[in-house]
A and B are shown apart, each in its own frame.
Chain A
Amino acid sequence: MTDFTEDMLCNLEKMAHIECEKNEEALLTDSLKKILDYVEQLSEVSTEDTPIFSHQMFLQAKNASPQPLRKDEPGYLLPTETYLENVPEKTAGMIRVPPVLQPKEKNG
């Protein structure tokens, strides 16, 4: 059985930038615990010398010429004005964001 608790869920919420309703948390914890219990079955499979999957592996072996990695060059980029059309808040051709650093409160 996987040891997955509500505290772990709270930690995940912080990492994923998602804040769930308090009344959702017990349900979500149970639900995630159930999935993690299910995927534990993978430990039955021995994978000591098994490589990590890549789409290239069986493609090269049987059906096609190798697909080289593309050159590390900038590709097509959207013009800034086009990109900004979907941005919720913008100013002077830039994305407007709330303050990253909060001003210090004055003492005394």
Chain B
Amino acid sequence: MNQLHTKSALAIRNLFVQGEISAVEIVSHYLERIHKYNPDLQAFLKIYDDQALKKAALLDEKRAQKKPLGQMAGLPIGIKDNTHIQGEITTCGSKFLEHYRAPFSATAVRLMLEEDAIIMGKLNLDEFSMGASSENSAYMTTKNPWNTECTPGGSSGGSAAAISARLIALATGSDTGGSIRQPASFCGISGFKPTYGRVSRYGLVAFGSSLDQIGPLGARVKDIALMMETIGRNCPKDPTSLKKSSEEILTSFSTDMKGKVIGVPHKLLEDLKGEVKTDFQDSLKRMESLGATLVDVDLDILRYSIAVYYILATAEASTNLARFDGIRHGIRTPQAASFEEVYKYSRDSGFGQEVKKRILLGTFVLSSGHRDEFYRKAQKIRYLIAEAFHNAFNKTDFIAMPTCPVTAFALGSFPDPFEMYLQDSLTIPASLAGLPAISVPSGIDSKNKPMSLQIIGPKLQDAAVLQAGYAFEQTAPLYKTLPKGFL
């Protein structure tokens, strides 16, 4: 099956379960693609050739013995390298954790392994997920398969690039302010940020604990729904995990949007330009053609989202990253003679510049004399943002906006990272409010760069958001178009 990688994850799983292909054949096909394309793309930090083939052989044996096969049986998946796999290195894209071997598996990883998924490797990211271009990784810079001069986005850039080039069938990412949805958009694939608490954070190295969520990236909405059915469930090891069991999502999929009301924050989006603007207008018409009704909603308060985010996310990061001290974790610099020097030298040599900057900013906004001015103020405006969404959902089922106001930009084109922060304006709001949001490819611009529609739903309406994403995807199934050079 030379074109196996063009099939959906669901189709691959069914081929395996029905005995039409072996797991070893599936893994071999994808390993061949990984070794062919990864040297240029730089999506994988680590490739598990032997482990993947060994797991595949075990699955073939399990099938031969007619034992029940899991929901993700035979599917080759990748894991963002801020998520633990027991016994494997978790670098978080940082020199600090170059040798850190995970003592346990993340709940999301464990659940997928229990459903017979096959892990092919660890995927590149911005250091500790702090970035929007994957250029902040201490190890490599991932390229965008649609244009290798451009970024795949970030921080889950390795995950998005690997799916876009069809090097794996599904990948995990983590989303703190858009780190699943923005790279999905830049790479022409789908990405989903679940409701905060829907997927366990146990085993995810924390960046901003009140914002972080693990979520799926895949070529098709049905594929990411399959992963959500597997990983979206309560976990006693994560105190913020919602008391909800897994839900059946795939069975409810249809293309009917009759009776659904979609809110569009026209005023907030008045600065949209060029092809992103026309593509968004076209996307809304496509939603109307499915039977949805469009209404205007006031979400003007969302324009403060970036400012709120960079206060709260850095405050939480400065606290979370305090554990990386050279005493308990990571590297210990030999020239340090005192306790204090171990901290200082280890962190100085282990962290990259963007991480240091965010820790310093977070320390500042939490410091005595500034906490009320910055941190408390931002928490209050976060409330107003969540309230504005809540009020909008009293008269709508979903909110629609582009995932990003821009398409993939050239690598190295933002010498000042602050300018890059401003590109996250449309993904950060759902993160602040803890809402489920999906990015679905909506078009390809004249420079051959993908654009996407973002659909945001009320809390715990994850299945409904995925259903709406599926319906929209059927109006122009861009998953049929692979980037040139990766056919």
Contact = CB atoms under 8 A, between A and B. Distances in A.
Interface of A: 8-9, 12-13, 15-20, 24, 28, 31-32, 34-36, 38-39, 41-43, 45, 47, 50-53, 55, 57-59, 61-65, 67, 70, 75-76, 78, 82-83, 85-89, 95, 97-100, 102
Which of A18, A34, A36, A57 has the most CB atoms of chain B within a 10 A radius of its CB?
Answer: A18
Contacts of B434: 55, 59
B304 A41 contact: yes
10 shortest A-B CB distances, which residue pairs? A88-B332, A53-B382, A47-B380, A17-B343, A53-B383, A50-B380, A39-B307, A16-B363, A63-B460, A52-B379
Q: Is the interface of B mostly helix, strand, loop or mixed?
A: helix
Q: By CB atoms of chain B within 10 A, which of A35, A43, A89 has the most?
A: A35
B243 A58 contact: no
A17 B347 contact: yes
Interface in B401-418: 416-418
B103 A83 contact: yes
A13 B336 CA distance: 17
Contacts of B418: 31, 34-35, 38
B243 A65 contact: yes
A49 to B, nearest CB: 9
Interface residues of B, number: 80
Contacts of A95: 327-328
A87 B331 CA distance: 9
Given A47-B377, A47-B381, A75-B237, A42 B103 contact: no
B39 to A, nearest CB: 30
A108 B342 CA distance: 31
23 contacts: A16-B359, A16-B363, A18-B344, A18-B359, A18-B360, A24-B353, A32-B357, A34-B418, A38-B418, A39-B378, A42-B381, A50-B383, A51-B380, A55-B197, A57-B386, A59-B242, A62-B390, A64-B459, A65-B243, A67-B197, A88-B329, A98-B336, A100-B339
Q: Which of B100, B318, B327, B460 has the largest count of A CB atoms less than 10 A from its CB?
A: B327
Given A50-B383, A55-B434, 13 more contacts: A12-B360, A17-B322, A17-B325, A18-B344, A19-B348, A32-B361, A34-B416, A43-B377, A47-B381, A64-B459, A85-B103, A86-B329, A88-B327
